[in-house]
Structure 1
Amino acid sequence: MSAPISLSLHPDRLFPVDASTRDVARRLYESVKDLPIISPHSHVPPQWIADDVAFSDPTSLLITPDHYVTRMMHANGVRLDDLGVGRNDMTADDSRAAFRLLCEHWGDYAGTPVRYWLENELVDIFGVTVRPSPETADQIYDAIQAWVGDGANTARKLMERFDIAVLATTDDPCDNLEHHAALRDDATFTRRVVPTFRPDKYLEPARADWNQLVDDISRASGEAVDDLPGFLNALANRREYFKAHGAFSSDHSHFDLDTTRLDEAEANRIYLAARRGAASADEATALRRHLVWHQVRMATEDGLVLTLHPAVVRNHHTPTFEKYGADVGADIPVSVEVSRALRPALESFGTHPNLNLVIFTLDETVFSREIAPLAGFYPSVFAGVPWWFLDAPDAIKRFRRAVTETAGFTRTSGFIDDTRAFCSIPARHDMSRRLDACHLADLVVEHRLAEDEAAQIITSLVVDQPRKVFKL
């Protein structure tokens, strides 16, 4: 048997091939590489931090919760069950078998950002020095299991080690936010973990469970929901509850961005019909768009930053959804229209001083055509950085070139990691910092920007922009 191939991280990874440009990128990156992480949108469970959990095994830490990892193996013939998805009965042997599958399929990740993040985690966090393969799978598993068993690697200690200054979770409007309250009241915890108001499903009258959701938010808020004004009061009540628990944003993902406002009487008629189960599909869509307009209105009143990331066919494969549930990698992007869709809300609130609206997309064709021009005019609009399918090196480079020429750097959001995979957060942010250094280095060597200005800009992208955009 041949010796294992070593695994290491090249210090110039992602940097330009041209030597002079690479030198500038190195200097810019060095100036920000050790700055604290601000994560305005993640899916890390707040209970992990509140309870300072000690992770149990390599598979539940690195594979099962990360749909980026599981979907690639699924596409290459691995059953999601074998990766722990949808299961709570994984044994130690099952966990090891799942990790072996990852190592057997290591080649399937070549050229992907997932491979980049995993390599960073393996080397920087777990001290792994051999490349994953069927022959090294158990060796790597044992090394990570030893790390997992070390009391120095609990969730709170990793917040410190990763230097995560701010971590925003994603939370249901009816959540009592007990874990956030516990963290807020714990004087020994010096990091900031805050909730994010995520009302999507409550704004979708076409859902089969919508009436139950409306009843749920009525109980949580104490507001009667006998008509649309009452339902809007319930939503506003929960937004205020979240804000009181530290939330600084609300997050919205619908099939489109349309914010057409209905006549309030007509909207109430459709709401009442939906409560009886009698609204048509078109009526339900119209009411959802009306409700999103009201979410923008509420944002001007309570100051929560409103983020939008539309245009995904959720749970594309129904049998997978029925067996495993949502968020297992079966959401597929579609194209989206932005300018006309958002115009009703921007006509009403686009210049409101209390509104910050961040537009994300999975359709990069709209970066330069629509999002950048909107962010380049409206003081309330910011271009959200690439995430989810686009959070990859080449896509991020394309984003910077597509958006900067129209909107500059100050109209963008700062990096969003959008992950459930806790240990990938530092790798994702490091990748973003390297790529921003690359883009700025190009401008410097093209004599379009002085290097001292570039150094100021990259610091702003890491620190100032997320704090400004998300009102930190």
Structure 2
Amino acid sequence: MPLMHPDRLLPSDPAQRAIARRLYAEVSGLPIISPHGHTDPVWFADNENFGNAAELLLHPDHYVFRMLYSQGVSMEALGIGEGGGAADPRESWRLFAERYHLFRGTPSRMWLDWVFAEVFGLEQPLSADSSDHHYDHISATLETDDFRPRALFDRFNIEAIATTESPLDSLEHHAKIRAANESGEWGGRVITAYRPDPVVDPEFEGFQDNLQKFGDLTGEDIFSWQGYLAAHRKRRDYFASMGATSTDHGHPSAATADLSAGEAEALFKRVIADDVAPQDAELFRAQMLTEMAGMSLDDGLVMQIHPGAFRNHNRKLFERFGRDKGADIPVQTEYVHALRPLLNRYGNEPNLAIILFTLDETSYSRELAPLAGHYPALKLGPAWWFHDSPEGMRRYRSQVTETAGFYNTVGFNDDTRAFLSIPARHDVARRIDCGFLAQLVAEHRIEEWEAAELAVDLAYNLAKAAYKL
């Protein structure tokens, strides 16, 4: 039995499945637009071979190691973080393979099976018995030129991919990619996105030091309000010169504010002090979302806001291993009142593009769809992170479409650090959308020719247009 059934994720109803098959045939080979993600630009800049199966498929994927950690496997044993460098990658892979059954029914299982079957040609499921075979086959294959990052980028038919960098990043890897483009060495489009959280969030670790570095980079008086704003404008311009079309804001809540110039300056003085009150930190983040919206109106960068994650919830894990180690947890999030200051200021601007994500599904039909269905500046990002799953995508479509329609959403993005999961994730989204559209056709709510147009829009056109790619 093949690892991947050709009708996976398509409707079980025969009539709907037949429609979905026809729709999927129209979109399965479309190029991939990956406008928001966290792959490492050094992969594409240096184009060096990936080291082994664990390095490529286990270490970057917090979906994978958070499940293993939840079942008592230490981060060190998996080869992740401090002390992880001493772990034998084959043995780390074996710990993963022995526990592959833990991923039954999860999106990770689908993505990984797709990678095993479609990328590496493996036919046997991963298990304790097949651990060495998978590890050896994948690791040997990764030593070949066809499996270097640029070759895989081209093989996956990726038209454009955005990575995410801090304002403090030199973007040297993006400069190297650009040089390869200009010389004709490689034509892949890899761009950056401006993620200012380290210098916008007063509760971000090292905030004061980050501000100092920010000032050194830009030559601005970073500890004055006007100098601080000027530094953001300078770095945004530089990011845009390096290909960026978007900014990215990962705040704890969706709170926005619209303070007077004097109030904002006084607030800034408070947040750069040694001790910052939590309410001032939240108000500053809120004000900076509105400031960033104004800058986006000026420079044309698309603004992405994705609130609602309690980040680094596991304090001991954070202190030992740092950020992004699978301990971010969704929280209830309010949008109607939170976004109103920003939307009162800029929401009616047709030339402003704000893409809003959520981890709180209860807000889809109650808040987000009505907001996006009204304000010209606002569109909804796809089901994301914990809801980047077949069930999550179906819930999103059913709850959002009736109020916001399809065209106030922006297609799909994969938001991943795990490079080889990108085509797998896009394939899942395309299959789910084709199934959703097939049901509308079967119920005579739209015609099949309309569904065919929508399938292409959802898979390709909407993301390309929304992110100005």
TM range (shorter): over 0.9
Deviations 1:41-81 (A, max 9, x none): 11011110010120000001000110000000111111111
The Cα of 1:353 is off from its aligned counterpart by 2.8
Unaligned 5+ segments in structure 1 are 1-5
Change in 2 beyond 3 A, CA 1:88/1:31: farther
SS class of match (1:54): coil
TM-superposed deviation, 1:241: 0.7
**SS where residue 76 of structure 2 aligns?**
helix
Q: Which residue is 2:42 aligned to?
A: 47
Among 258, 261, 265, the alignment partner of 1:264 is 261
1:181–1:245 CA contact under 8 A, matched in 2: yes
1:293 is displaced (CA, Å) by: 1.1
* 1:161-216 Cα deviation digits (max 9, x unpaired): 00111000000112121211221222222121000000012111234522111111
- CA offset at residue 279 of structure 1? 3.9
Tell me the SS of whatever aligns to 2:409.
Answer: coil
Question: Match of 2:308?
Answer: 311
Q: Secondary structure at the match of 2:51?
A: coil
**Residue pairs, 1:133-282, within 5 angstroms:** 133-186=127-180, 187-207=184-204, 209-282=206-279
Aligned CA-pair RMSD: 1.3
- Verify the 8 A CA contact 1:172 1:197 in the aligned structure 2: yes
**One-letter code aligned to 1:103:** A
Does 1:389 find its partner at 2:386? yes
Distance (whole Å) between structure 1 residues aligned to residue 49 and residue 333 of structure 2: 41
Q: Secondary structure at the match of 1:158?
A: helix
> Which residue number corresponds to residue 331 of structure 1?
328
**Which amino acid in 2 is paired with 1:180?**
H
AA at the equivalent of 1:141: Y
1:436 aligns to 2:433 (yes or no): yes
Counterpart of 1:423 in structure 2 is: 420
Determine the C-alpha separation between the residues in 2 that align with 1:451 and 1:160: 32
Q: Is contact 1:299-1:354 (8 Å) kept? A: no
* Cα distance change of structure 1 residues 293 and 76 upon mapping to structure 2, 3 Å threshold: same
Q: Return the alpha-carbon distance in structure 2 between the equivalents of residues 173 and 230 of structure 1.
A: 15
Aligned to 1:61: 56
**What CA distance in whole angstroms lies between the structure 2 residues aligned with 1:192 and 1:208?**
32
| Range that drifts further, 173-182 or 246-255 | 173-182
Question: Of 55, 60, 76, which aligns to 1:81?
Answer: 76
**Aligned-residue offset at 1:411:** 0.8
CA distance in 2, matches of 1:466, 1:260: 28
Residue 148 of structure 1 deviates from its aligned partner by 1.1
Distance 2:305 2:108 in 1: 24
Pairwise mapping of residues 371-386 of structure 1 onto structure 2 (< 5 A)?
371-386=368-383
TM-score (norm. length: structure 1): 0.96
Deviation at residue 325 of structure 1 after TM alignment: 0.8
1:270–1:284 Cα contact (<8 Å) kept? no
Q: CA deviation at 1:408?
A: 1.0
Stretches of structure 2 that go unaligned for 5 or more consecutive residues are none
Measure, in 1, the Cα distance between the counterparts of 2:148 and 2:317: 32
Contact 1:305–1:470 (CA<8 Å) still a contact in 2?
yes
- Whether contact under 8 Å (2:31, 2:157) holds in the other structure is yes
> Could you say which residue in structure 2 is the equivalent of 1:21?
16
Q: Deviations over 1:299-356 (max 9, x none)?
A: 1111100001101111111111111111110111101001111111111111213211
- Name the counterpart of 2:120: 126
Which residue of 49, 59, 66 corresponds with 1:71?
66
Q: Deviations over 1:216-244 (max 9, x none)?
A: 11111111123111101111111111011
Name the residue aligned to 2:318: 321
Question: TM-score, normalised to structure 2's length?
Answer: 0.97
Structure 1 contact 261–290 (Cα < 8 Å) conserved: yes
In structure 2, C-alpha distance between the alignment counterparts of 1:149 and 1:182, rounded to whole Å: 23
Partner of 2:27: 32
- Which piece of structure 1 moves more, 440-449 or 456-465? 456-465
User: Counterpart amino acid of 1:50?
Assistant: A
Moved more, 265-274 or 169-178: 265-274
Q: Distance in 1 between matches of 2:396 and 2:84?
A: 42
When structure 1 is superposed on structure 2, of 410-419 and 271-280 the one drifting more is 271-280
Seen in structure 2, the aligned counterparts of structure 1 residues 75 and 208 have a Cα distance that, compared at 3 Å, is: closer
Q: Is the deviation greater in 415-424 or in 78-87?
A: 78-87
Deviates more, 1:281-290 or 1:61-70: 281-290
Once the 2 structures are TM-superposed, how far is the Cα of residue 119 of structure 1 from its aligned partner? 0.5
2:126 maps to amino acid? P
| Distance (whole Å) between structure 2 residues aligned to residue 125 and residue 90 of structure 1 | 27
Aligned residue number for residue 348 of structure 1 = 345
The alpha-carbon distance between structure 1 residues 409 and 166, as it changes in their structure 2 partners (threshold 3 A), is same
1:375-399: CA deviation from partner (whole Å, max 9, x where unpaired): 1111111111011000010110010
User: Could you list the per-position Cα deviations for residues 66-105 of structure 1 after superposition, in whole angstroms to 9, with x for gaps in the alignment?
Assistant: 00000001111111111111158646x7111111111111
1:301–1:354: 8 Å Cα contact kept in structure 2? no
Provide the C-alpha distance between the structure 2 equivalents of 1:211 and 1:326, rounded to a whole number of angstroms.
18
Aligned residues with identical type, % of pairs: 42
CA distance in 2 between partners of 1:321 and 1:273 (Å): 27
Residue 111 (str. 1) matches residue 108 (str. 2): no
Alpha carbons 1:196, 1:251 under 8 Å: kept: yes
